[in-house]
A = this chain, B = another copy of it.
């Protein structure tokens, strides 16, 4: 068997996640481009657990050395191996202006300034609710994207979970007719409602756990929804189902992020089958690395420290997600508005906190 395939099988066995020779090459290619573990994860665009296990396997085989400061260097044996495998350093052609998002908020500078001011006073993310927020540039870029696609101006927007404060940015843009936030965290609800009143924004937040039924008054009520679901198939189905239930009918849009860090392409495929098959929507955009998450406090203390390089904190916003936009072709039939009972948050591909 080819070396990369052999390593793939080993990492697959260790992680329980499907791994291809190409994935092994992806990690090696990223290691040729950077010595910072978290950047390797970001550049490889693979599940965190796969990259961590692959890097550690490289370490055990003497191809990678972990320096005292946590940086990863390829040993001579490692460089030889990469050469024999024909693997080249990962290349980067991401647009320097929009950072790969395709949209740019150049006409929204005032919005950006006002949003940064507000966001500075936000509640910090907590593990209990799987929180973690995106950079202000990301949030304002989301506003630009929704506006560019005709999903914001004059529209009713539902925000399902809002640690990113998209609702406030949307309200500050002056574009949507109304924004409703459904959120589990009382701190965020209070904060969003407080700012909305203070700034006279058409935004209201109320408490909601997405395992509950969608409140009846919100069924078939919105033009657009945005959400950022936990990445198990189960949670994705429930979250997206709530979002789709909230939409008025044909020609409405939904936005959400999906990572590589916690979702293999096998899961991407299964989720996409759900979207285009069961939910019968069209996927209109998948924009890689659109959402950049600010590093969150509970990451390092909580991660299981299986590997020596996991002791060192990220020096970049490594956790990113692709932005999906979907559009409805018809009112989605056969979606039941009922409670979801199950444990939704964790699968083998998730970041595991100890």
Copies of this protein chain in the complex: 2
Q: How far is the CA of A86 from the CA of B155 in the complex (A)?
A: 9
Task: Give the residues in chain B near A102, CB-CB below 8 Å.
Answer: 94-95, 98, 100-102, 287-288
Task: Give the residues in chain B near A288, CB-CB below 8 Å.
Answer: 102, 284-285
Beta-carbon nearest neighbor of A289 in chain B: B102
Beta-carbon nearest neighbor of A279 in chain B: B269
A25: interface (CB < 8 Å): yes
B104-A145 in contact (CB<8A): no
A299: interface (CB < 8 Å): no
Task: Give the residues in chain B near A90, CB-CB below 8 Å.
Answer: 150
A266: interface (CB < 8 Å): yes
Beta-carbon nearest neighbor of A98 in chain B: B95
Name A277's contact: one of B21, B249, B273 (CB within 8 Å): B273
Task: Give the residues in chain B near A268, CB-CB below 8 Å.
Answer: 282-284
Q: What's the nearest-Cβ distance from chain B to residue A13, in Å? A: 16
Q: What's the nearest-Cβ distance from chain B to residue A152, in Å? A: 8
A281: interface (CB < 8 Å): yes
A300: interface (CB < 8 Å): no
Task: Give the residues in chain B near A249, CB-CB below 8 Å.
Answer: 20
A96: interface (CB < 8 Å): yes
A352: interface (CB < 8 Å): no
Task: Give the residues in chain B near A100, CB-CB below 8 Å.
Answer: 102-103
Task: Give the residues in chain B near A93, CB-CB below 8 Å.
Answer: 103-108, 144-145, 147-148
Name A272's contact: one of B95, B107, B276 (CB within 8 Å): B276
Name A286's contact: one of B29, B97, B283 (CB within 8 Å): B283
Task: Give the residues in chain B near A108, CB-CB below 8 Å.
Answer: 93
A91: interface (CB < 8 Å): yes
Task: Give the residues in chain B near A281, CB-CB below 8 Å.
Answer: 269
Q: What's the nearest-Cβ distance from chain B to residue A49, in Å? A: 18
With A93-B105, A104-B95 given, is the CB distance from A284 to B284 under 8 Å? no
Q: What's the nearest-Cβ distance from chain B to residue A245, in Å? A: 18
A153-B282 in contact (CB<8A): no
4 further A-B pairs in the complex, CB-CB below 8 A; given A96-B106, A272-B272: A22-B252, A25-B150, A93-B147, A285-B287
